[in-house]
Structure 1
Amino acid sequence: MVSTTERQFHEGSRSEGGRGRGRRASGGRRRRARRTGATSGDVVRGIVRFFGEVMLTAGLLMLFYASYEVYGSQWETDREQQDLAQGLEEAWSADAAAEEAGPDSAPLPGSADSRLYLPSLDLDWVVVNGTTPDDIRYSPGHYTEFPSDPGEAGNYAVAAHRTPGLFWDLDLLSNGDTMVLEDAENFYTYEVFREETVLPTDVWVVEPDPFDEATDEEPERSLITLTTCAPKLNNTHRLIVWAELVETTPKSEGMPDSIAHMAPQADEDE
């Protein structure tokens, strides 16, 4: 038999154990940490993060803008060239009629004047009269300061922007490469013989005979001069490429072999 004293001892032990377990259970709970105010380090990190995001966004916008300036304008150039090409034959017909009717008149700024082919680069353009920013926005422009015509003695000088679709790859031309000018009657083939980078103030490059100091005499050579900015995406200098006439091909004989693969596509209506 269990004595009364032993029962009280065991019951007390169980009671103490239960209370102990309760205290341990209660003591094992974690209290939530109290929130404190933002520190100076948090403020600095927030400011740095904000300005970092602003600079990243500005950089992306500048990148998109530069990409459009370089490549997006090529689409506009191609479209404008198509419009000029459609009216070039009409312009030549009108010029022929004007010559029959009376003396020559000064070309209108921005009007189509010739077609230029660079077969080694597989490029061709309609060349307009004038070299103002509006004239050469989408086309190469013919300098009109000195009288000059394709195939004639003198210097048929042409300027264009250094952008894709225009004179972007002009530096790829080498001595011996050909250029072809087309007017209403003939194809004129020129051969590249010199390339040079000069300052914008070196306007002698487009004179009737850039390599003859006796400029008061009539030029004897038939030259074409191409000018554009150098280096790419900058305008601190000018890249100049000269070529000299080596052959004249009447249109009745067809296109010269050097540009036969570049024949303009006929209109679908024709």
Structure 2
Amino acid sequence: RGGGRRGGAAPAEQPAEPEITGGRAARRKAAKAAAKAARQTGTAISNVIGELFITTGVLLLLFVVYQLWWTNVEARAHANGQANELQERWEESGGGEESEENRDPGVFSAGEGFAILYLPTLDVRVPVAESVDPGSVLDNGMVGHYTEEDGLPTAMPWDEEGNVGLAGHRNTHGEPFRYINNLEPGDPIVIETESTYYTYEMRSRLDSTSPSNTAVLDPIPEQGGFTDPGRYVTLTTCTPEFTSTYRLIVWGELAEERPRAEGMPDALVN
């Protein structure tokens, strides 16, 4: 018998698994790093955009707060101070021959206060200044008197006939005319000057009209229902609220003229 080992030939050795080359490993590692970097970049961009939106929102909120609240605080403080100064000046002068009643409308400079307007049912007390210029008058919380310089000359309270035209903000900057749409026929509208209280009674209202409708300030404001010469007052403001698209108009007619020396009229006492 042969001398070979029993059991047949020895099994062949299995080839070893091929190792991943260094190049493929490097590419996979680089791909993973790139994907991670892309995710981080996307996240960073999203964070920046989100922060920009938040910052913009905060700035808009601050602007709204400034417009709707802080302008009212500043303007009301200014207007109240101006009204107090007027009354102090009148007390010192005693309403003599050089009083406001002896001055023509054109004598007052733009922005100069000469009267105080009261709307008792609305709890409004606000100084009246010459001109309806926003910068020097209306934005400072005051009510403006339409003048020749504004292109719309109107009467003074002490004139024997005519229509006293007044303008005021409805929203922001003190908003003295915000609620004049709530005035009802018979409600008092009082103008105080150095020597006299002029008490008007609200007669009619025009809820909306074009800003170009200057006939509302006519000496005889027919749109207010008046047909004869008289002594009238017209309040104008913007409408709807927070817009300047149209104008809201309120008319009044003089009911009483009372010297300041005799004390306040009933409308301011009751």
1:121, distance to aligned residue in structure 2 (A):
1.0
Measured on the aligned residues, the alpha-carbon RMSD in Å equals 3.0
Pair 1:73-2:71 in alignment: yes
Report the CA distance between 1:248 and its aligned residue: 2.2
1:148 maps to amino acid: A
Question: Which residue of structure 1 aligns with residue 260 of structure 2?
Answer: 251
How far, CA to CA, are the matches of 2:94 and 2:267 in structure 1?
Answer: 28
Aligned partner of 2:168 in structure 1 is 160
Once residues 68 and 103 of structure 1 are traced to their aligned partners in structure 2, the CA distance between those partners, rounded to angstroms, is 38
User: How many percent of aligned residue pairs carry the same amino acid?
Assistant: 32
Q: What's the CA shift string for 1:15-34, capped at 9, x where partnerless?
A: xxxxxxxxxxxxxxxxxxx8
- After superposition, give the CA deviation of every residue in 1:133-158 in whole Å (9 maximum; x if it has no partner): 22322111111233512154211111
Matched letter for residue 198 of structure 2: Y
Structure 2 residue identity aligned to 1:160: G
2:190 matched residue in structure 1: 180
Q: 1:190 touches 1:224 (CA, 8 Å); kept in 2?
A: yes
CA shift, 1:71, in A, is: 1.3
The reply on whether 1:150 has 2:169 as its aligned counterpart is no
What is the TM-score normalised by the length of structure 1? Answer: 0.71
Shift of 1:85: 2.2
Residues 151 and 245 in structure 1, CA contact (< 8 A), matched pair in contact too? no
CA contact (8 A) 2:197 2:258 kept: yes
Point out where structure 2 has 5 or more consecutive residues left out of the alignment: 1-28
Code of the residue aligned with 1:135 in structure 2: it is V
Pair 1:170 & 2:180 matched: yes
C-alpha contact 1:129 1:143 (8 A) present in aligned 2: yes
How many residues are aligned here?
Answer: 223
Alignment of 1:1-270 (within 5 A): 36=33, 37-38=35-36, 43-44=41-42, 46-89=44-87, 90=89, 93=93, 96-98=96-98, 104=104, 106-133=107-134, 134-138=136-140, 139-145=142-148, 146-150=153-157, 152=159, 153-164=161-172, 165=174, 166-196=176-206, 197-211=208-222, 220-260=229-269
2-structure distance, mates of 1:107, 1:142? 11
Structure 1 position 110, deviation (Å): 1.2
* Residue 229 of structure 1: how far off its partner (Å): 1.4
The one-letter amino acid of 1:130's match is S
TM-score with structure 2 setting the length = 0.71
Describe the shift of the 1:198–1:123 C-alpha distance in structure 2 as closer, same or farther (beyond 3 A): same
Tell me the alpha carbon deviations over residues 64-115 of structure 1, each in whole angstroms, 9 at most, x when there is no partner.
1111112101222223223322432436949844479x98562221111111
Q: Distance in 2 between matches of 1:194 and 1:179?
A: 12
